[in-house]
């Protein structure tokens, strides 16, 4: 698996829905998150993008709601994918807007 972020696509993540990923924190144990959803984002593609360029996509993950509020540029690790460096992790509201007993996080690949 390549760790070149510009070469990643949604495809290798889809079979991993339900798997645990780890956000690597500089001064704390890794934060375990479960991959819940993988969405391609055609509306985020530049009009000038060539057909060979990958489609932008996002990952939606959940974790323990009692973890400290976390957002930032951090590495993501998975047992088979390895470590993906420098991903922007954002804590977000659940897509249905209903309060959920979990924390929701999103990573976008534009």
pLDDT digits (tens, 9 = 90+) for 52-67: 778 899 999 999 988 8
Residues 6+ apart with CB under 8 A from 31: 22, 23, 25, 63, 67, 70
Question: Which DSSP symbol is given to 109?
Answer: E
- Give residue 93's pLDDT: 81
Stretches in the chain below the pLDDT threshold 70: 1-3, 95-100
pLDDT at 52: 72
């Amino acid at each position: 698996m390549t760790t070149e972020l510009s070469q990643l696509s949604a495809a290798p993540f889809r079979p991993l829905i339900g798997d645990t990923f780890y956000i690597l924190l500089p001064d704390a144990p890794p934060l375990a998150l479960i991959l819940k959803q993988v969405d391609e984002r055609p509306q985020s593609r530049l009009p000038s993008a060539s057909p060979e360029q990958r489609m932008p996509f996002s990952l939606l993950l959940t974790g323990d709601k009692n973890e400290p509020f976390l957002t930032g540029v951090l590495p993501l690790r998975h047992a088979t994918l390895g470590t993906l460096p420098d991903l922007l992790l954002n804590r977000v509201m659940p897509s249905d807007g209903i309060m959920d007993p979990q924390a929701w996080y999103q990573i976008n690949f534009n």
